[in-house]
Amino acid sequence: MTKIERQKEEKGKILKGLEKVYEKLLEFKKQKNSELVVLKNNQIVRIKPE
């Protein structure tokens, strides 16, 4: 396995992990009925997860 192939594989694993963390964050916010704070168009926006 070349260095580039290994980096692509690691990148894929990292992205999968980030997706899982995002899903868990949304679940947590729904359970606690709290807002999700994000940056959108250089402005801080509060979103109610539904």
Mean pLDDT, contiguous 10-residue spans, the chain (50 residues): 94 98 94 94 92
Residues near 10 by Cβ (< 8 Å), separated by ≥ 6? none
Residue 49's Cβ-count burial label (10 Å; 0-12, 13-18, 19+) is: middle
Please give the model's pTM, rounded to 2 decimal places: 0.74
For residue 49, the model assigns a pLDDT of 80
Q: What is the pLDDT, as a whole number, of residue 17?
A: 98
Buried b (16+ CB within 10 A) or exposed e, 21-41: eeeeeeeebeeeeeeeeeeee
